[in-house]
Amino acid sequence: MILVLIGILESACRMAWIDPIAVIAPSKMFQGAVSLLASGQYAEDILLTLQTVAAALVISVITGFGLGLLLFRLPRLKAAADPFLASYYAIPMFMFYPLFIVMFGLNRWPLVAIGFVFSFIAMAINTVDGLNRVPRVLMRVGQSMNLSAWQRIRFIQLPAAAPYLFTGVKLAVVYAFIGVIAGEFVLAGAGFGYRIAFAYNAFDNATMYGLLVLLIGGVGGLNLSLYRWERLIHERRGGR
């Protein structure tokens, strides 16, 4: 279906049904992407964005897991936090950017902070969900073996909740990319998103669409790899 849609767009562009100033043919998009990779012109920007996303992701996963574990251990706190968690993504996160500039200065850390606030709640929610879905029979087995609270978490709850934790990591990856790339569009002077916005303002369609193809291909390939690993974890637990 994707190939058919690309073929339709290619035909529409070549027959001038679509204004070439707005959209170029997919073949030219791929040519632009290959040319950018061969030239290495934006390698530093791509690496800078990946470093920013990685920093936001590591902080998000650690913080989100800790928050999810805390909410699981304190049901009353979770009940109080549920309305906030349910409405969290209705908040426009970019309104915090001036605050992050004051806190961290004019550098990459405000973008790391934006990626963090986008992604850590997804990890926290999936951590709570995974721990709540651990079968009670497994917990009873742990009690019968006189396991301590830490041993139950380490040997029973975390392995049983692993598929849900991995889903949280996968969502955190996606949200970290969204936060950082979107932040670079309007708030940065370097990076992948900044180069896309610069090419757009300069009417450089070949570069803009080439960068978009690289971005979609890279993030899509990473997400597909995470999906396959997630499926393997489910299959090892006898699920689908």
Instruction: Collect all residues with Cβ–Cβ distance below 8 Å to 120 and sequence separation of at least 6.
Output: 59, 60, 61, 63, 64, 67, 172
In this predicted structure, what is the pLDDT of residue 238?
A: 61
- H or E element, residue 73: helix 43-73
Domain parsing of the chain, residue ranges: 33-236
The structure's pTM equals 0.81
For residue 25, the 8-state DSSP code is: -
In this predicted structure, what is the pLDDT of residue 237?
A: 63
Structure tokens belonging to residue 91 = 């908040």
Topology given in CATH for the domain delimited by 33-236: MetI-like fold (1.10.3720)
In this predicted structure, what is the pLDDT of residue 60?
A: 93
In this predicted structure, what is the pLDDT of residue 55?
A: 93
In this predicted structure, what is the pLDDT of residue 58?
A: 93
In this predicted structure, what is the pLDDT of residue 206?
A: 84
Instruction: Collect all residues with Cβ–Cβ distance below 8 Å to 69 and sequence separation of at least 6.
Output: 127, 131, 153
Instruction: Collect all residues with Cβ–Cβ distance below 8 Å to 224 and sequence separation of at least 6.
Output: none
Sequential pLDDT tens for the chain (240 residues): 988 988 888 888 888 788 777 788 888 888 888 888 888 788 888 888 899 999 999 999 999 999 998 988 888 998 888 888 888 887 777 778 778 888 887 778 888 998 899 899 999 999 998 888 888 888 888 888 888 877 887 788 888 888 888 888 888 988 898 888 888 887 777 888 888 888 888 888 888 888 888 888 888 888 888 888 878 777 776 655
In this predicted structure, what is the pLDDT of residue 56?
A: 92
In this predicted structure, what is the pLDDT of residue 54?
A: 92
